[in-house]
Chain A
Amino acid sequence: MAVEALRLDGVTRRFGAVTALHGASLVVAPGEFVTLLGPSGCGKTTLLNLVAGFQTPDEGEIFLGGESVTRVPVWKRDIGMVFQSYALFPHMSVAENVAYGLRARGIGKAEAMDRVAEALRMVRLSGLEDRRPRQLSGGQQQRAALARALVIRPRILLLDEPFSALDRALRGGLQVEVREIQRAAGVATLFVTHDQHEALAMSDRIAVMCGGRIHQAGTPEEVYAHPADRFVAGFVGDATVLRGRLRGLMGTTAGIEVGQAVLEADATPLRGLSQGAPVDAFLRPETLSPGGPALLSGEVRSVVFQGGHVDVHLDCAEAAGGRAMARLAPMLASGLAAGRVLELAGPSCCAAFPAEEPA
């Protein structure tokens, strides 16, 4: 049985009266790429700092490779970390930067040189050994930081929003590249981001966080298609929220009445509700399409061309907040203009949660 690369058992961290992390538990398997996703202040950076050892938990245990490191200082944890600013040492060459962790471990010069060359080859920076960090582009700096973190063969790789300093245009390519390098190195990785697209694109699993708690941990598909609660449904991906009523619970599925239609939903979040209770149905905008039978209808307010698709916003009485959004193929949206009444057909299943009291 393979040992878990990382295990968090009920880790809590408080700053004075503020609890930044409430009993978080999480497991990262060897070679797995797990993302901590959440808005700023959700506790994801605190969690990363606890794993790195820059902070110690008030409660709970942290294990790396099956060994408890809760009280082990940073420099003895064998972690590799890529910082938001990359934190490359400006007075050292690229090769010296990459060799830093090896020298701190007392590894001989010949072996260190071989491993540095190998790490730089892996991140395609061969030939730039003697450059100073400031002579590298943003993407190259990121790869140098990655090589420096990987060359020590860490028990876990920690990535702290490494794409946030880069141009949007560069990010897509680098995300793919970082993932390929991580896969080739076979290193378990914990990645922190507030960007849901990054999380969906890169992760084996995503842990969605808010208010110091892990709301859901699952594959990108699970998190997107079967959000565990309202927060996850609203934070990951866009959603049109329709007001409905609970028709009944049958085993693991629930029937939701929305207007004339009945949708299926996962029953778990709705347990304990009585028949006829108000619920909110979360629909992904790309599951709506023009035509019948109409699940919802309304007057088009704006048509936003996004390249590969078109976002149509409409006034809709059934929708929470009075607004609905459908994501259509450009072909289907041609001829749509503000003021037209549009009927949309929906999917047969959705995610549903108890209705929030109107504020």
Chain B
Amino acid sequence: MAGENSTALGHGAPGLLRGLALPAWLCGLAFAAALLAIFQYALRAHVPGELEPGGFTFQNFVAQAHPLYIGVFWDTLLLCAGTAILSLLAGYPLAWAILRTRSRLARSFILAIVITPLFLGEIVRTYGWIVVLGNSGFLNAALAWFGLGRAEMLFTTGGVLAALVHVTLPIVVIMLAAGLAHIEPELERAAQSLGATPARGFFTVTLPLSLPGILAAGTTAFAWTFSAFATPQLVGGGKVNMISNLVYQLGFASFNFPFAAALAVSGLALTAVTLAALSLLTRRVEQRL
């Protein structure tokens, strides 16, 4: 009977939770230990030729003030912002179409196109972009066929941006669609009945009401992109560097673990500050709604 079942669950659930608490604590402990290791490496001196770091120092953070490193931080922030904005611009109409199309077939088709990249690994997706953007790739072949010559796309910021947008788009579309689903279609009809053209209705009613969803999706895309590694590594080919590529080069090419750790900590701090600012903005927007 249903009553017995629910009683059994009622007794079982806390026990199950207690059983899961131990592995959860162990995982948490492992993460905390890894983070702690990075923090303590960041504050130790690099001894050339040695894997073991030296004594306590702030030098790893002071050295980051160099224009070279500031440039990489800045480029990373710009790429993240660019990716977030482009994903939102491309994702909004897609999310809209998924919600408002009457045809189930069209809806399934758009969803499939949007979601499939999530099931491909990042490496597969990235190699796909190399094939598309390469000197004899799909796009250049198409350009040549139209007699428009060739364009340098692989190993450029634009190419990396395109690939990064492809990575974030599925999650942005899903988050935007979730936000847009809360907006009653009757509101758009009401705006039109009051004399607003569909465009005016969109900008005065639909868009302001979708701001929380836009901010949430944008924040996620931003944070997601900040930790991107394989995409800029392969599509950027060393010419377009983000923080994680720099950390990789310093850690595994120069074996300067302390400086790599310090860069990682700075990147983490930068992400935290940006996310805090964005979440503050989101809260203010939500209060106004």
Contacts and interface: CB of A to CB of B under 8 A. Distances in A.
Interface of A: 52, 54, 73-76, 78-81, 83-85, 87-91, 100-101, 104-105, 148-149, 152, 158
B186 A90 contact: no
A79 B193 contact: yes
Nearest to B211: A91
A105 B195 contact: yes
Given A87-B184, A89-B187, A91-B289, A104 B196 contact: yes
Interface SS majority for chain B: helix
Contact of A85 (B186, B195, B197, B204): B186
B191 A100 contact: yes
B189 interface: yes
Nearest to B182: A90
B104 interface: no
Interface of B: 184, 186-187, 189-198, 200, 204-205, 208-209, 288-289
15 contacts: A73-B192, A75-B193, A75-B196, A75-B197, A79-B193, A80-B194, A81-B189, A83-B186, A83-B189, A85-B186, A87-B190, A100-B191, A100-B196, A100-B204, A158-B193
Contacts of A75: 192-198
Most chain B CB atoms below 10 A, which of A52, A88, A91, A148: A91
A148 B186 contact: no
A186 to B, nearest CB: 20
Contact of A89 (B190, B195, B198, B288): B190
A81 B190 CA distance: 7
A172 B192 CA distance: 30
A80 B192 CA distance: 10
B26 to A, nearest CB: 45
A104 B194 contact: yes
A119 to B, nearest CB: 13
Top 5 A-B pairs ranked by shortest CB distance?
A101-B194, A87-B190, A104-B195, A81-B193, A87-B186
Contact of B194 (A73, A85, A91, A152): A152
A91 B208 CA distance: 8
A149 B186 CA distance: 14
B205 to A, nearest CB: 6
Contact of A90 (B189, B197, B198, B209): B209
Nearest to B208: A91
Contacts of B200: 104
Given A87-B184, A90-B289, A148 B194 contact: yes
Q: Which of B192, B209, B289 has the most CB of A within 10 A?
A: B192
Contacts of A149: 193-194
Given A87-B184, A89-B190, A101 B288 contact: no
Contacts of B194: 75, 80, 100-101, 104, 148-149, 152
Contacts of B187: 87, 89
A158 B193 CA distance: 10
